[in-house]
Amino acid sequence: MLKVNGEPLKYVKDMTVSDVIKAKKFSFPLLIVKIDGVYIPRESYDATPVSDDATIDIIHLISGG
């Protein structure tokens, strides 16, 4: 079972970072993703697999003024 931002998510075989983002319904375009503390570049989301015991942090970037 994956953990995404501290919440469980059922693992699906061959799941990628993009799949996790879709499953958790993140729609904000600017995200920071870390798997087990390792930063994943945006251009790698489709190609980066996740394991069934991964801890994933997804953070929305917000700017203000």
If you average pLDDT over residues 20-29, what whole number do you get? 92
Residue 62: is its pLDDT beyond 90?
no
* Whether domain 2-60 has CATH 1.10.10.10: no
Whether residue 2 contacts residue 8, with contact meaning beta carbons closer than 8 Å, is answered with yes
Give the domain ranges of the chain.
2-60
The percent of residues above 70 in pLDDT, for the chain, comes to 98
Residue 65: is its pLDDT beyond 80?
no
* Structure confidence at residue 64 (pLDDT): 72
Contacts of 21 (CB under 8 A, 6+ apart): 31, 33, 45, 58
